[in-house]
Copies of this chain bind each other. A is one copy, B any other.
Amino acid sequence: MTAPYGRVALIGLGLIASSMAHAIRAAGMATEIVGHAKSPETRAIARDLFCDRVCDTAAEAVQGADLVVLAVPVGAMAAIAAEIAPHLKPCATVTDVGSVKGAVVEAVGPHLPAGTHFIPGHPLAGTEYSGPRSGFATLFKNRWWLLTPLGDTDTAALARLRGFLEALGANVDEMEVERHDLVLAVVSHTPHLIAYTMVGVADHMRRVSQAEVIKYSASGFRDFTRIAASDPTMWRDVFLTNKDAVLDILGRFTEELFMLQRAIRMGDGQQLFDYFTRTRAIRRGIIEAGQDTAAPDFGRGADPVKG
């Protein structure tokens, strides 16, 4: 059982930080949760809902904190790191929850004083909602929380952070920074861009078709709209900061799509059938890996009574 941190400072108070605060409380993993957000409205909500204390500046919020969590969009990390650096407690652990790790290491690392432990992180959890009211204590339950420790990371600080995140319900794993950004480009970043694009295409159609597209949105498109409803600021920063990996995967994707498009045009049913059969196996792998359940999900709202 990992000992709780004393004071935990959450910088940025959206879906992830508010969920962390609820989970930290539920698990008793901090003696005080201090928060800061840029917006006065967000600060007021955080004060009411999940922070013990809310500060008007990030510099103030991190003072005396044993753990500092940077939960702002990736593009805002550098400025925050520069602001808080002079105010960090010696030996404080600093982590972040950004979806891209290379850019965060570059943005944050150089600012932090020697003696602090910087351990970049990324919880693979979220919903299509954002903001301080969207958090809930079980968001991280049975979800991966990836840490990308750097070469000189203190092993005791790392073990303590791992134990803390596990106490919030997460399964913690370690990866290299570059590997993280490539894998996430495949499993998250590129799928999000594609979902945004398909929903954008539908929007064009909607304007000429009296909302038929929305009215009849079937399973495939409904899933896409859920993905495409995610926070625009966060996703803008993801694509700008994980540019190389995303462009690489997008290139592979369009090659593959053109191959299937050609099969459709040429009427090559065998090629389509073989391709679609192969993708089924991947789905089974994901269920076996415990990242989703086998319950039928397209008929959402229905109450499955298996025959």
Contact = CB atoms under 8 A, between A and B. Distances in A.
Nearest to A253: B201
Interface stretch (A29-37, A64-72, A138-146, A153-161): A138-146
A288 to B, nearest CB: 8
Contacts of A18: 307
Given A198-B194, A299-B126, A216 B187 contact: yes
Contact of A136 (B222, B286, B304): B304
A271 B209 CA distance: 25
A170 to B, nearest CB: 11
A227 B273 CA distance: 15
A155 B211 CA distance: 27
A260 interface: yes
A179 B264 CA distance: 20
A226 B272 contact: no
Nearest to A239: B264
Contacts of A202: 186-187, 282
A211 B244 CA distance: 22
Contact of A201 (B186, B214, B240): B186
Interface residues of A, number: 123
B282 A226 contact: no
A232 B269 contact: no
Contacts of A212: 179, 183
Contacts of A276: 196, 228, 230, 232, 235-236
Contact of A225 (B254, B275, B283): B283
B136 A229 contact: no
A106 interface: no
25 contacts: A22-B305, A22-B307, A50-B307, A124-B216, A124-B219, A127-B296, A127-B299, A128-B283, A136-B299, A136-B302, A137-B307, A142-B301, A187-B217, A188-B220, A191-B224, A197-B256, A199-B283, A203-B278, A214-B286, A217-B289, A222-B286, A223-B227, A229-B284, A240-B267, A243-B265
Given A198-B253, A201-B253, 17 more contacts: A124-B219, A126-B299, A129-B296, A136-B307, A138-B302, A196-B276, A197-B257, A199-B282, A200-B278, A201-B252, A217-B289, A217-B291, A232-B276, A250-B257, A250-B261, A292-B300, A293-B301
